[in-house]
Structure formats: structure tokens, C-alpha cells
Amino acid sequence: MIDVPRFGLGCAPLGNLFRRFSEPEAEAILEAAWSAGVRYFDTAPHYGLGLSEERLGRFLATKLRDEYVVSTKVGRLLRENPSWDGSATDATGFVVPARLRRELDYSASGVRASVEDSLARLGLDRADILYVHDPELSGVPGATESALTALAELRAEGVVGAIGTGSLGVDALLATARTGLADVLMVANRYTLLDQSVVPELLEACDAYDVRIVAAAVFNSGLLASAPRRDAKYDYGDVPDEVFARALELDKICGEYGVDLPAAALQYPLRDPRVVSVVAGAAAPDQVRQNLAHLAAPIPSELWQHLTERNLVPPLS
């Protein structure tokens, strides 16, 4: 397992997630992260139909290769879209022309093609981490193991340092750990102050197979990124009433200890020694700096004890 910095920049916004980011805006986000000491960057072909990888690659071309860690993903091949009408934008939340389409492919040949394409967009000859991206979407039995076996071969060839799965599907993550092939799991939305679906089964599997965790989407799509707002998103959708009530309770208790809710959200998964890093995106340079400030904020142990006693989070095992 390679060393992974404690904080990583999630690069989905660089793919024009939810709105168009100009080239200067995207570069400013990356420059703010680098200047603040961020050295782990997570991307994927899915993010803006390759735009995120391309922008990240142009930025990293100015840096020494051994100074940073890059993770990207396999499972979605980008192919020409014959039905594009010349003006339509991507329908998955990325504001980019729909010139390309995503083709789910978790086969060995698909994995190798995906890695080759990603490395070309990134301008790299190797990746530090490769994740199987959302294998539960394939509908094909054995897709997770097939893709991981292909990644393990690439790891043996030196094309990648560490492999695993990136998903919000706990079953897919659990299946990954149990193959014995994975080094790390990117757990999205499922190890947060509002959702501890990893407990206990997935954590036990990580212990049994010596797998580490990168916790992503720790703000649950935005609800925990500030004081809870009714118009915020939770797991990419509207916030259920019971979830909003829990978020308000978390915010109130954090306030009693002088802790901002986003600081607690960022630091919560890092209390677990299985978690080696948290990854969070940013839509502006100030958000990068704010996230790093939250990550460094002091949090009294009494806060975690209080949350455990209120059954808002499980005991740390």
C-alpha cells in the first residue's frame, strides 16, 4: 500500500459538476490546493467526460511526478456519441457537451483500455491508485472481481501502486475487500456523521484482509458542509426529514463544544485507524482553504463521546 496524504482534493468539480467552470477557475482551485500543501488528487473519466482528468493532467505537468498522488477510476469507457445533436450537454450533472458517451465495461480488456485512456488524458505513465468505479451498476455477476483481477495484473506490471473499488454501494465495497486483491477502498457517503453503513461488516472485512479506507463525500453531498439548510443536498438528492433533524442535532451538539459542523464531518472518519485519507471537492479556492482549516481545527474528545452517548455515531472499534 502506498502512502496516501491525509487530505485529498476531489476533482469532480473540475469536470464542470453542476455548472461550467472556466479554465482559469479550474486552475485557481488546483493552485490553491497545491499552495496549501495538498498532494493527493482524485479524479475519474466519469467527471465531465474526461474533462477533469485533462485539466488535472495539464496542471500536474508543471510538477515533479514523485511529489503527488493521483487516483482515477475504471469501469466507464468514453466513446464517441453518434446521437449527439451538436448542442446537448451531458445528462449526468456535468455541464459539458455530450460529444462522448459512457460505456460501462468491467472486463479485463475494458479495464486496460480505460487505464490507457486515463493515463493519456492525465499525461502520466502510471497511476498511484486505481479504483473500480461503481461496479454495482454493471448488473453483471462477478464484475467487481473481474475488474480487480485486471487491476491486480496492472499492479504487478508497475502501472499502478494500489487498487480497490470506489463506490457508495456497501455490498460492492464488501465484495472488493473479500477478494483479497484490494489495497484500499474509496467509501463515498457511507462513513460520515450521518451514515455509518460501513459498521460493522465492512470494517471487519477491512481488518480481515488488511484493506485501508479513503473516505469521500464526507459532507453527504453538501448537507454537512455548513450549518444545515433545508435546500441542501443529501446523497445527491433532497434531504429526508429525519436526516435533516439528525443534522440539526449534530450541529447543535457541535456548537456546544465550539466546533463547526464541517470540521467534525471532515475529521470524524479519520478517527478510525483504517481510514488513511478524506477526500473533498471544492468549487472555489476559498473552499479548499476552508476545508483544510476545518481539518486542522481542534476537536475535544468529549464531543465524540457525547455523540456516541446520544447514539448519533457508533463506538469506535
> Hey, which residues are catalytic here?
47
Main-chain phi, psi angles of 181, to 5 degrees: -95, -20
Amino acid at site 25: E
Residues 128, 71 contacting (CB under 8 angstroms): yes
Q: How far, rounded to the nearest angstrom, does the alpha carbon of residue 67 sit from its chain's CA centroid?
A: 20
Name the grid cell of 13. 468539480
Amino acid at site 220: N
**Among candidate residues 74, 62, 165, the one with its CA nearest the CA of residue 123:** 62
User: Is the peptide bond prior to 200 cis by the omega test (within 30 degrees of 0)?
Assistant: yes
Q: CA 213, CA 203: separation in Å to the nearest integer?
A: 9
Main-chain phi, psi angles of 237, to 5 degrees: -140, -165
DSSP summary character for residue 80? E
Name the grid cell of 122. 492525465
Whole-number Cα distances in Å, 196 to 66, 300, 316 = 34, 21, 11
**Among candidate residues 17, 16, 29, the one with its CA nearest the CA of residue 292:** 29
Q: Within 200-260, where are the H helices?
A: 201-209, 241-256
- Name 258's bridge partners: none
